[in-house]
Amino acid sequence: MRTFNIHEAKTHLSSLIERAAKGEGFIIAKAGKPLVKVTALEAPAPGEVRRTGFLAGEIRVPADFDSMGRDEIEALFGGEA
């Protein structure tokens, strides 16, 4: 993995990002000291992963969920329980 100083990375940022996106990561250093590692994200393609509802049928919410602990909460915040 190649190392680039900050000035060089700023000068060639567009081409470095393109290379990183293709799998060729790099390191940015300041005064010879490595600071950050730049690599491509391994994110799924759009539409490949369905996030909303991914736990459908796995979790059960009690019918009294909205009132659970009401007395304790009111007592903590000065309400009259």
The 10s digit of each residue's pLDDT in 4-63 is 999 999 999 999 999 999 999 999 999 999 999 999 988 777 777 667 777 888 888 889
List the domains of the chain with CATH numbers.
Answer: 2-38 (3.40.1620.10)
Phi then psi dihedrals of residue 35, to 5 deg = -110, -50
pLDDT at 80: 61
How much is the pLDDT for 79?
67
Which tokens is 11 given?
Answer: 């000068």
Reply yes or no on whether the pLDDT at 68 is more than 70. yes
**Strand runs labelled E in the chain:** 2-5, 26-30, 33-38
Question: Could you tell me which residues come within 8 angstroms of residue 29 by beta carbon, excluding any fewer than 6 positions away?
Answer: 3, 4, 5, 6, 35
